[in-house]
């Protein structure tokens, strides 16, 4: 298992697409969380999303909420793509047979993949926190504002929550890749859910239909958004709204991780590699 995990980590690290996804996640996060509000406060980004948030929202004391704010939707989409690529690539390149012929069992390889994807998810979350810390410190210094950092406990809680959200979306990517045995369709369908269906449900269907509003409390996106809101993310952020308690959100997301990973493992174990 250790050898297979090292192999999976090597594959992710050496794959240019992994670094591209990390870069896109960081650039998107910095742009919409810090640069647009900062430019808006200076009068150079009128009308842009988040342009009216004000400089106070970009300072170090908002680090936790700002770093995980993208994970319920946009950064979540990046993680979904990462999960799909890590597993779906084996179908696309036909490499399942090559690596399984080396002797490890399917579940050993699958477990190694999950470990590597979870680690990559943590790295992306840490990168979001690190980039946010550097940017907010720079803004505080430039504006002469106080650099009041959140407590280490709050930061660790934020990293943990972000990791859970990130792993959940990556897990969705993994199960879609195994179920659909590829890359393109799982990414397409995953993004349709994350970017379109989820928003339609919360913005249009939930206010009209009670059962959809109740269903929302058990769907992955609203639980991630609720936990992010609780940890300080502005509710102006897409997909972020207080809807359920923290314990509920963490339990539901953990259950989704288990379900996604479990179904993926079951399908991979049962089906022929063709």
Partner 1 sequence: MFPVETHELTKRYGHLIAVDKVSLTVRPGEVYGFLGPNGAGKTTTLRMLLGLVRPSSGTIRLLGKGIGQALGDVGALIEGPAFYPYLSGRENLRVLARYAGCPAGRIDIVLDLVDLTDRAGDRYGTYSLGMKQRLGVAAALLKDPKLLILDEPTNGLDPAGMADMRRLIRRLGAAGKTVLLSSHMLGEVQQICDRVGVVSGGRLIAESTVAELRGGARLRVVADPIEEAAARVRALVGQDRVRIEDGALELDIEAGKAAWINAELVSAGIDVSELGVRERELEDVFLELTTTTGGTDVG
Asked if 42 is part of the footprint of partner 1 (rule: CB under 8 A), the reply reads no
> In terms of CB distance, is 105 or 235 closer to partner 1?
105
105-109's contacts with Cβ under 8 Å and 24+ in sequence apart are 106/268, 106/269, 107/265, 107/268, 107/269, 108/1, 108/4, 109/4, 109/8
Q: How far is the CB of 97 from partner 1 (least distance, A)?
A: 5
Q: How far is the CB of 93 from partner 1 (least distance, A)?
A: 6
The footprint of partner 1 on this chain (CB under 8 A) covers a number of residues equal to: 27
H/E element, 151: none
> In terms of CB distance, is 49 or 104 closer to partner 1?
104
Q: How far is the CB of 265 from partner 1 (least distance, A)?
A: 16
Going by C-alpha positions, the residue among 268, 242, 259 that lies closest to residue 112 is 268
Q: How far is the CB of 270 from partner 1 (least distance, A)?
A: 8
Asked if 22 is part of the footprint of partner 1 (rule: CB under 8 A), the reply reads no
> In terms of CB distance, is 14 or 144 closer to partner 1?
14
Asked if 184 is part of the footprint of partner 1 (rule: CB under 8 A), the reply reads no
Q: Are 84 and 175 in contact (CB under 8 A)?
A: no
In degrees rounded to 5, what are phi and psi of residue 179?
A: -65, -40
Q: How far is the CB of 90 from partner 1 (least distance, A)?
A: 9
Quickly count: other Cβ atoms within 10 Å of residue 89's Cβ: 17
Report the residue from 11, 53, 113, 181 that binds partner 1 according to the rule CB under 8 A: 11
Quickly count: other Cβ atoms within 10 Å of residue 184's Cβ: 11
Number of helices followed by number of strands (H, E) in the chain: 14, 0
> In terms of CB distance, is 5 or 136 closer to partner 1?
5
Among positions 90-129, residues that touch partner 1 (CB under 8 A) are: 93-105, 109
Quickly count: other Cβ atoms within 10 Å of residue 164's Cβ: 22
Asked if 10 is part of the footprint of partner 1 (rule: CB under 8 A), the reply reads yes
Q: How far is the CB of 88 from partner 1 (least distance, A)?
A: 13
H/E element, 50: none
Please choose, out of 11-19, 71-79, 117-125, 250-258, the segment that lies near partner 1 by the rule CB under 8 A.
Answer: 11-19
Asked if 146 is part of the footprint of partner 1 (rule: CB under 8 A), the reply reads no
CA–CA separation, 136 vs 182, rounded Å?
40
Give CA separation, 107 vs 4, 168, 186, 249, in Å.
11, 19, 21, 29
Q: How far is the CB of 177 from partner 1 (least distance, A)?
A: 16
- Contact residues: partner 1, CB under 8 A: 3-4, 6-7, 10-11, 14-16, 89, 93-105, 109, 272-274
């Amino acid at each position: 298992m250790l050898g297979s995990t090292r192999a999976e980590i090597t594959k992710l690290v050496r794959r240019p697409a992994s670094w591209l996804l990390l870069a896109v996640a960081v650039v998107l996060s910095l742009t919409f969380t810090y640069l647009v509000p900062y430019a808006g406060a200076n009068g150079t980004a009128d009308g842009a999303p988040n342009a009216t948030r004000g400089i106070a929202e970009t300072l170090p004391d908002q680090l936790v909420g700002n770093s995980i704010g993208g994970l319920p939707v946009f950064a979540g989409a990046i993680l979904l793509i990462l999960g799909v690529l890590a597993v779906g690539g084996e179908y696309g390149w036909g490499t399942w047979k090559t690596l399984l012929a080396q002797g490890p069992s399917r579940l050993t390889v699958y477990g190694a993949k999950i470990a590597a994807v979870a680690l990559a998810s943590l790295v992306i979350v840490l990168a979001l926190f690190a980039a946010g810390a550097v940017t907010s410190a720079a803004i505080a210094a430039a504006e002469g504002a106080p650099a009041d950092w959140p407590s280490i406990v709050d930061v660790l809680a934020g990293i943990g929550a972000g990791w859970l959200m990130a792993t959940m979306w990556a897990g969705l990517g993994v199960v879609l890749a195994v179920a659909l045995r590829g890359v393109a369709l799982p990414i397409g369908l995953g993004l349709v859910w994350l970017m379109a269906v989820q928003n339609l449900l919360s913005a249009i269907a939930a206010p009209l239909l009670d059962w959809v509003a109740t269903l929302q409390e058990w769907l992955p996106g609203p639980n991630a958004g609720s936990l992010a809101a609780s940890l300080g993310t502005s509710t102006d952020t897409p997909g972020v709204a207080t809807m359920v308690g923290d314990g509920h959100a963490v339990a539901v997301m953990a259950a989704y991780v288990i379900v996604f990973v479990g179904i993926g493992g079951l399908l991979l174990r049962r089906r022929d590699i063709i």
